[in-house]
Chains A and B, each alone.
Chain A
Amino acid sequence: MKHHRVLRIAAKLLIPFIMLFGLYVQFHGDFGPGGGFQAGVIFAAAIILYALIFGLENARKVAPTRIVTMLISAGVLLFAGVGVVPMFLGANYLDYSPLGATQQSGQHIGILLVEFGVGITVAATMIAIFFQFAGRGRDE
């Protein structure tokens, strides 16, 4: 698809905004609709669009398979790790209240971190799966 100039320029314009929108959805999930699951998918969609327009090889340079694979587990670890921290502060597993000065701010911090973990895992998984499907037929 390298010779489609319209597509290339439109994609170049769109991708930063898609990513920005993904981050907005990620961190605005407390106030409006959104959250880690949606943000992860939107972010992955930006990378997939890049891969579709500029070719898989370039996309692999942007998001190296090794790093993507590591991020899949990093998200789960972040989630589980945020759950462990309150245990050291005398609360139950995944009870975020002691993370902040007040109960509300503690819950807020906990939810933000947990959603971020969800977002990382979802985005990395989707990108990794897409790379596998797209790269499958061309290795020969």
Chain B
Amino acid sequence: MFLAVTGFAILRLHSLFAVVMLSGVYSLIAAAMFVALDAVDVAFTEAAVGAGISTVLMVGALSLTKQREKIPVHTPLLPMVVVLVTGAALIYGTFDMPNFGDPDAPANRYLVDRYIQESPKEIGIPNIVTSVLASYRGFDTLGEVTVIFTAGVAVLMLIGGARRRRRPDSRAGPEATRE
């Protein structure tokens, strides 16, 4: 509920600084929600990443751009229709979903029982999330780390070089090459 309220506030506000701050609040509420849903590791990550680092990065980006959003002139009717149709289709889809907290839901059976019962014996560490993350699904995690690595390198390439003077009239052309 709080999440939805914060989301609406983000939608309505035009001051980008307030939007960024609210998105930090939103992440913190989401983290609290994850704790309530027994996902302590995820909550930890969300609180550190969403409420901490990404807010700082967004403020950093804001300081390089501008603070206020332009008020939209036309009423966005078409996006509203698109979003409502998508939402209706998804709600229709949820009618077939298993009940909340159902231990017999397909997602909670088969492989998961094995992880829960065998991993303390096979891996020898109590935190099942860590053992699945680093051992059973090591390839996945390697891929994720590579994605982070690539994103970091891409950011360095995009804004890492010396700052180029902005030319309002001639953007394209040979002077577009950096430095």
Q: Touching in the complex, A and B, CB below 8 A?
A: yes
SS of B interface (majority): helix
Interface size class of A (residues with CB under 8 A): 35 or more
Which B residues lie within 8 Å of A8 (CB)?
none
A105 near B152 with CB under 8 A, answer no
Chain B residues with CB under 8 Å of A115's CB are 130, 134
Q: Is A79 an interface residue (CB 8 A)?
A: yes
CB contacts under 8 Å to B, within A31-46, are: 31-35, 37-38, 41-42, 44-45
**A63 nearest CB across to chain B (Å):** 14
B53 and A105 within 8 A (CB): no
- Which of A35, A42, A83 is most buried by chain B, counting CB atoms within 10 A of its CB? A35
Does A91 touch B at the CB level, under 8 Å? no
Q: B43-65: which residues lie under 8 A (CB-CB) from chain A?
A: 43-45, 48-49, 52-53, 56-57, 60-61, 63-64
Query: In this assembly, does A72 line the interface, its C-beta being within 8 Å of a C-beta of chain B?
Result: yes
Please, which residue of chain B has its CB at the minimum distance from the CB of A114?
Answer: B134
* Chain B proximity mask over A97-120: 1 for CB below 8 Å, otherwise 0: 000000111011011001101100
Mark B residues whose CB is within 8 Å of A. Answer: 40-41, 43-45, 48-49, 52-53, 56-57, 60-61, 63-64, 122-127, 129-131, 133-135, 138-139, 141-142, 145-146, 148-149, 151-153, 155-156, 159-160, 162-163
Return 6 A-B CB contacts under 8 Å, by A number: A30-B131, A41-B48, A72-B149, A94-B142, A111-B123, A111-B135
